Amino acid sequence: MMETQKRNGMFRTAAIVLFLMLFQQSASGLGRFVADRFTFNAIDGYGLFAWISVHHVVQMLCAIIAIVIIAKVLKLDFGFCLGDRKAGMEHVANFTIAAVVFALIWHLLSNVRMPDYPLNFNNIAGQLGFQLLLSGPSEEILFRALPITLLVYSFGKSKVIRINKWNISLENIIAALLFTFAHVSWSLNPFSVRASWVQLILSMVLGLWYGVAYQKSKSILYPMAMHSIWNVVMVGARYIHLALLS
């Protein structure tokens, strides 16, 4: 009886992971499809922020619709609240310090080439605006709130794994793996797979940190802020580096 329940639980979890992967890829694909229907030359002639903004709005709406339906059917809480503000703000503060330090080291050690677009207000503000307002909310709703909550429901409770001095939940690891997979570019016809190992490692590490903040604070708002802060700091540091070189 116990073996049957365990086997059924594994099948249920595998089905949820497969559903999550397909849903995330489909939401992103729908975002690409909708964004491709528009031309943005009037406001974004270099394709820096308008297309990806529409893409992220669409995939975020897909995730929100799914969450509203699932929350109503399964009575689940996806953390759209302030939660534990002390824990959340501590994670945001510590993460911000780490992001700034990393960005400084990264740009001191890297060679930055001048971009093939003008460094004017429209291009810079457009990119930073996207990173600040859309990157965090869209991706954290789709890749953190949705998968972690569904996986905890599948497990029956959070499954914590102790790695050295760190306590990281199994659902967080799975969500971070799905988030990392989303940063792999692939196609079936013709078959190709393209990925940056640096980006994949960063996606995994950052995804785990966002997930810890989500579960500790019981709110998706703090991972959203952390995600946006990371992107703004990294993009902003690049522009500062370019300004110093010019």
Q: How many C-beta atoms surround the C-beta of residue 191 within 10 A?
A: 7
pLDDT digits 0-9 by tens, 12-47:
889 999 999 999 999 999 999 999 999 999 999 999
Note the pLDDT of residue 195. Answer: 76
pLDDT surpassing 90 at residue 192 = no
For residues 92 and 226, the answer to whether their CB atoms sit within 8 Å is yes
For residues 180 and 203, the answer to whether their CB atoms sit within 8 Å is yes
Query: Torsion angle of alpha carbons 183, 9, 212, 201, nearest 10°?
Result: -30
| Model pTM score | 0.92
8: which 2 tokens? 């059924």
User: Distance between CA atoms of 154 and 96, rounded to whole angstroms?
Assistant: 33
User: Distance between CA atoms of 186 and 203, rounded to whole angstroms?
Assistant: 17
Split at pLDDT 50, 70, 90, the class of 79 is very high
For residues 34 and 55, the answer to whether their CB atoms sit within 8 Å is yes
- Spans of all domains in the chain: 2-245
Omega before residue 137 within 30° of 0, cis: no
pLDDT surpassing 60 at residue 189 = yes
Of all residues in the chain, what percent carry a pLDDT higher than 70?
Answer: 93
Average pLDDT on 160-186 reads 88
Average pLDDT across the chain, whole number: 92
User: Distance between CA atoms of 214 and 208, rounded to whole angstroms?
Assistant: 10
pLDDT surpassing 90 at residue 244 = no
Residue the block writes with tokens 């789709």 = 142
Q: How many C-beta atoms surround the C-beta of residue 198 within 10 A?
A: 9
